[in-house]
Structure 1
Amino acid sequence: MLFNHIKQNAFAKGIHIDRINGYVDHAHCLVFLKPTQTINDIVQLIKGESAHWFNQQANAPPSKLQWQSDYFAVSVSESAIPNVQRYIDNQEAHHQRKTFLQEYNAFLKYHGFSETN
Structure 2
Amino acid sequence: MPGTFSQIYIQVVFAVKGRQNLIAQSWKDNLYKYISGIIKGKGQKSIIVNGMPDHIHVFIGLKPSMAISDLVRDIKNNSSKFINENKFVKGNFSWQEGYGAFSYSQSHIDNVYHYILNQEKHHKKRTFREEYIDFLKKFEIEHDEKYLFEWVDG
TM-score by length of 2: 0.68
Question: Any unmatched runs of 5+ in structure 2?
Answer: 1-29, 147-154
8 Å Cα contact 1:10-1:17 kept in structure 2: yes
Structure 2 CA distance for aligned equivalents of residues 26 and 110 of structure 1: 19
* SS of equivalent residue, structure 2 residue 145: coil
8 Å Cα contact 1:108-1:115 kept in structure 2: no
| One-letter amino acid of the structure 2 residue matched with residue 64 of structure 1 | N
Residue 111 (structure 1) shift: 4.4
Residue 16 (structure 1) shift: 1.4
Does the alignment pair 1:13 with 2:42? yes
TM-score by length of 1: 0.88
Structure 1 CA distance for aligned equivalents of residues 80 and 143 of structure 2: 31
Show CA shifts across 1:35-83 (max 9, x none). 20110010001000110011000x4221322011100001111111110
Does the alignment pair 1:103 with 2:131? yes
Q: Cα distance 1:54–1:116, how it changes in 2: closer, same or farther (>3 A)?
A: same
Instruction: Give the total of aligned pairs.
Output: 116
What is residue 54 of structure 1 aligned with on the other side? 83
Structure 1 CA distance for aligned equivalents of residues 37 and 137 of structure 2: 35
| One-letter amino acid of the structure 2 residue matched with residue 23 of structure 1 | M
Deviates more, 1:98-107 or 1:28-37: 98-107
* SS of equivalent residue, structure 1 residue 30: strand
The residue correspondences of 1:21-40 to structure 2 (distance < 5 A) are 21-40=50-69
What is residue 80 of structure 1 aligned with on the other side? 108
Residue 23 (structure 1) shift: 0.7
8 Å Cα contact 2:40-2:46 kept in structure 1: yes
Structure 1 CA distance for aligned equivalents of residues 120 and 62 of structure 2: 26
Higher fraction of strand: 2
* SS of equivalent residue, structure 1 residue 97: coil
Structure 2 CA distance for aligned equivalents of residues 64 and 114 of structure 1: 30
What is residue 12 of structure 2 aligned with on the other side? none
Structure 1 CA distance for aligned equivalents of residues 34 and 93 of structure 2: 14
Identity of aligned residues (%): 37
